[in-house]
Structure 1
Amino acid sequence: MTDAVLVAGAPSAGVTSLVAALRERLPEVDVTEEGGAEVAVAVLAVSAVAPPVPSDCAVLEAAAARANAVVGAVTKVDAHRRWREVLAEVSTRYPDVQWVPTCAAPHLGAPDVAALADAVRTALRAAPAGEVARIRNLRSCRSALVREQRSARSGSSALRIGLHRERLALGRYTRERCAGLRTEFRAVAAEMPRRSADRVQESLRAAADALVRDVDTRIDHRLADLADRLGAPALDQAPPPVVPQWDGPPTVSRRAERGLTLALGAGFGLGIAVAAGRVFAALAPWLSVGAQAAGAVLGVLLTGWLVSTRELMHDRAVVDRWVCDVVGTLRGYADDRVAGRLLDAELHLGPVLAARAAEESDGVTHRIALIDAELRTLRRRS
Structure 2
Amino acid sequence: MSTTPDLLYSEEEEALRSAVRDLLTDRCDPAAVIARTESDTPHDLALWKTLTDGMGLAGLLVPEELDGQGATHREAAVVLEELGRAVAPVPYLTSAVVATEALLECGADDLLAQLATATSIGALAVGLHTAPGAAFATVRVENGHLHGELTGIADAAVADLLLVPADDGGLYAVDSAAVTVTPQVSFDLTRPLATVRLDGVAGRRVGDAGPAVRRALRAGAGLLASEQLGLAEWTLTETVRYLKERKQFNRPVGGFQALKHRLAGLWLETVGLRAAARNAADALATGEDADVAAAVAQAYAASVAVHAAEEALQLHAGIGMTWEHPVHLYLKRAKADSIAYGTAGAHRAALAELVDLRAP
**Pair in the same fold by TM > 0.5:** no
Instruction: Tell me which structure has the larger Cα radius of gyration.
Output: 1
TM (norm. structure 1) is 0.26
